[in-house]
C-alpha cells in the first residue's frame, strides 16, 4: 500500500511539473500571438531626379500684326519634334504623396508657317515664315503614387511654374522680286506661366534607385518678336506631348 501511495505521489508530481511547464509555454505562445502587429513605418525621404525625353509639339497659333495691314493669320504652322533634358529635387512625404521642383531645357525646335503676302505676290501665293523656338521650364510638381506591386508604382501628377521661351533666327520670305524679305525678327524671349499634367510609373531597381517612365503634357505659353518694319510676329499657345525616361535616387 505504501508503495502504491509513493507511486501515485510521484505520478502526481510529474503531472504537475508537466502541467506547469506546459502552462509556461502556453503563456509564452499567448504573448507571442497576442502581441500587436504594428504597420511598418516608411520614412520620408529626399530624392534627386534626372530625365531625358522626346517632345511632340501641338500646332500653335501664329499671326503677323502691323499698323499698315492689321493682323494676318498664319496657316500650315508647325513646330518640329525636339528633345529635352531635366533635373530636380523632391521629397516623399509618405507612400502615397510626394513633391519635387524640376528644371528642364527644351531643345530648339523649328517653327515653319505660311502667311498671306503683305504685298502683291509673284512666284508664290504666300510668305514663307521660319524660326527657332527653345525654352527653359521650372515647375513645382505634386504626385499621387497609387500603390506598389512587385516594385512597380503607377502615379499621376500635376505641376505649375514658369517657362522662358526664346524665339531666334526668325525670317520671312515674301515672293515679290523687288522686296523679297518680308520680315526679319530680332531674337526675343519671354517668361510665361506654365503648367503640366503627367502620368507614369516607377520601377524599383535597388533600394535607392528607381527607374521612372512617364508621359507629360506641358503648356509653355507664347513668344513674339518684332520685324525691321515694326510689325509683330506672335507664336501663341505653345504646348507639347512629352515622353520621358528618368531615374530617381532616394537620398535616405
- 132-169 tens-digit pLDDT: 999 999 999 999 999 999 999 999 999 999 999 999 99
Lowest mean pLDDT among 12-21, 56-65, 79-88, 124-133: 12-21
Q: CATH number of the domain that 172 lies in? A: 2.40.160.20
Q: What is the pLDDT of residue 12?
A: 43
More confident residue, 49 or 13: 49
Cβ-in-10-Å burial (0-12, 13-18, 19+) of 74 comes to: buried
Contacts of 72 (CB under 8 A, 6+ apart): 63, 64, 65, 115, 116, 118
64/92 same-domain check: yes
Beta strands in the chain (DSSP E): 45-57, 61-66, 70-73, 75-79, 82-94, 97-115, 127-145, 152-173, 181-185, 188-204, 209-226, 232-250
Cα distance between residue 178 and residue 200, in whole Å: 55
79/188 same-domain check: yes
Q: What is the pLDDT of residue 68?
A: 72
Q: 147: which 3 cell numbers?
A: 500603390
C-beta of residue 206 within 8 angstroms of C-beta of residue 175:
no
**Which structural domain, as residue segments, surrounds residue 25?**
1-38
C-beta of residue 133 within 8 angstroms of C-beta of residue 167:
yes
Total structural domains within the chain: 2
- Kindly indicate the confidence band of residue 180, based on its pLDDT and cuts at 50, 70 and 90: low
What number of residues does the chain have? 252
198/138 same-domain check: yes
93/193 same-domain check: yes
4/25 same-domain check: yes
- Kindly indicate the confidence band of residue 184, based on its pLDDT and cuts at 50, 70 and 90: confident
Q: Phi and psi dihedrals of 22, rounded to 5?
A: -65, -40
What one-character-per-residue DSSP string does 196-234 give?
A: EEEEEEEEESSSSEEEEEEEEEEEEEEEEEE-TTS-EEE
- pLDDT > 50? residue 250: yes
pTM for the model stands at 0.79
Cβ-in-10-Å burial (0-12, 13-18, 19+) of 226 comes to: middle
32/137 same-domain check: no
114/198 same-domain check: yes
26/77 same-domain check: no
Q: Phi and psi dihedrals of 12, rounded to 5?
A: -65, -40
92/28 same-domain check: no
Amino acid at each position: 500500500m505504501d508503495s502504491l501511495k509513493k507511486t501515485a505521489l510521484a505520478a502526481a508530481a510529474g503531472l504537475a511539473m508537466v502541467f506547469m511547464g506546459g502552462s509556461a509555454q502556453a503563456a509564452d505562445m499567448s504573448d507571442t500571438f497576442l502581441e500587436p502587429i504594428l504597420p511598418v513605418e516608411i520614412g520620408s525621404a529626399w530624392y534627386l531626379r534626372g530625365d531625358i525625353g522626346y517632345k511632340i509639339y501641338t500646332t500653335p497659333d501664329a499671326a503677323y500684326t502691323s499698323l499698315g495691314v492689321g493682323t494676318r493669320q498664319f496657316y500650315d504652322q508647325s513646330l518640329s519634334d525636339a528633345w529635352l533634358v531635366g533635373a530636380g529635387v523632391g521629397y516623399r512625404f509618405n507612400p502615397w504623396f510626394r513633391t519635387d521642383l524640376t528644371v528642364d531645357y527644351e531643345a530648339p525646335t523649328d517653327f515653319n508657317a505660311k502667311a498671306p503676302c503683305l504685298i502683291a505676290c509673284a512666284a508664290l501665293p504666300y510668305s514663307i515664315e521660319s524660326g527657332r523656338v527653345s525654352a527653359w521650364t521650372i515647375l513645382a510638381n505634386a504626385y499621387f503614387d497609387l500603390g506598389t506591386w512587385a516594385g512597380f508604382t503607377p502615379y499621376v501628377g500635376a505641376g505649375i511654374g514658369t517657362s522662358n521661351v526664346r524665339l531666334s533666327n526668325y525670317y520671312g520670305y515674301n515672293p515679290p522680286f523687288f522686296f523679297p524679305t518680308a520680315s526679319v525678327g530680332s531674337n526675343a524671349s519671354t517668361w510665361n506661366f506654365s503648367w503640366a499634367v503627367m502620368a507614369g510609373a516607377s520601377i524599383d531597381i535597388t533600394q535607392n534607385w528607381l527607374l521612372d517612365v512617364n508621359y507629360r503634357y506641358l503648356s509653355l505659353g507664347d513668344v513674339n518678336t518684332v520685324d525691321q518694319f515694326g510689325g509683330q510676329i506672335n507664336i501663341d499657345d505653345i504646348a507639347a506631348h512629352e515622353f520621358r525616361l528618368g531615374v530617381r535616387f532616394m537620398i535616405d
